[in-house]
Amino acid sequence: MKPTLLVLAAGMGSRYGGNKQLDEVGPSGETIIDYSIYDAIRAGFGKIVFVIRRDIEEQVKERFVEKLRNRIDVDYVFQEITNLPEGVKVAPDRAKPWGTSHAILVTEKKIKEPFGVINSDDYYGVESYKILHDFLVNDKDPNSYAIIGYKLGNTLSDHGHVNRGVCKVSQDRLLQNIVETRQIEKTKTGAKVTGPDGKVQEFTGNEVVSMNLFGFKPSCYKYLGEEFRNFINAKGMDLKSELDIPTSLDKFVKNGDIRINILMSNERWIGVTYREDKPFVVESIKKMIRKGVYPARIY
């Protein structure tokens, strides 16, 4: 059975100032999602599932579902704040989604095979999809997952801070722990984070980070579901708290219930965290077209 690619496309894009998931960066109107799906099809994925908001349903159907109909199976599911475990209490005026862990959970009825997870606004590179596909096809342990790791220096924006999951990796390339690190800024010597107390944490740029490019097996729904219920019981009345994927899995990694393989990619991340990032993304795509990585029109 071919693996599925899950595209997380329900984010608001607040730092970007618009719906960056549908912004055009290719010469024929392609979005970053288009290039991601093109790479996934080439790597051997058999189905695409989108997690979206209801207000972009028609755009997603028009821009992706219809175009891909004869190329790969496509489906989508809504991430709504009412998708909750039975019996929990939450703030009635909550408007913000519950985070990336919740985004995966809402797909449980749609995905029964090994699957990859990507952000819709991140370009991961051709090699990364090949690495992810091969893991999902060849690794048969139901509790063995993967993160495609990147060097921090290959994932920074010139136009502002970024959030990255900084990984501690064992000698046998297994994840020991992951720390969601916010407001990482690029510097001449690497990167830094300035804490609320003014203390500065320096990075060399060689640290291994997660870009939300994951490889999962269906068993993950059990673990994510358990932690999401714990999260809702503790934070359900908050208006802005979210549960991210690494936080959901951290306990199970430390307990030895699951293992997460760190599979390194040499690709350079390209993304549109900020609107000022877009010209660089557009030029990068043009360069790859000139090199033959992509055709001028992928549909």
pLDDT in tens, 81-94: 999 998 898 999 99
Cβ-Cβ contacts under 8 Å for 156 (sequence gap 6 or more): 162, 184, 186, 191, 205
Mean pLDDT, rounded, for 129-154: 97
Average pLDDT over residues 89-104: 92
Has residue 130 got a pLDDT over 90?
Answer: yes
How many residues are present in the chain?
Answer: 299
Instruction: Please enumerate in sequence order all residues whose Cβ is within 8 A of that of 13, keeping only pairs 6 or more positions apart, or say none.
Output: 19, 20, 21, 121
Q: Which CATH number fits domain 4-149+210-290: 3.20.20.140, 2.40.30.10, 3.90.550.10, 2.60.120.560?
A: 3.90.550.10
Q: How high does pLDDT run on average in the chain?
A: 92
pLDDT of residue 157: 85
pLDDT of res. 11: 67
Residue type, 46: G
What are the sequence ranges of the domains in the chain? 4-149+210-290
Does residue 15 surpass a pLDDT of 50? Answer: no
**pLDDT above 60: residue 197:** yes
pLDDT tens, position by position, 227-254: 999 999 999 999 989 999 988 998 999 9
pTM above threshold 0.85: yes
Query: For residue 150, what pLDDT is reported?
Result: 96
d(CA 78, CA 100): 13
Confidence (pLDDT) at 74: 96
Cα distance between residue 15 and residue 271, in whole Å: 12
pLDDT tens digits for 35-71? 999 999 999 999 999 999 898 899 889 889 988 988 9
As a whole number, mean pLDDT of residues 163-192 equals: 93
Task: Supply angle C-alpha 62, 35, 70, rounded to 5.
Answer: 50
Instruction: Give the model's confidence band at 10: pLDDT under 50 very low, under 70 low, under 90 confident, else very high.
Output: confident
21 has pLDDT over 80: no
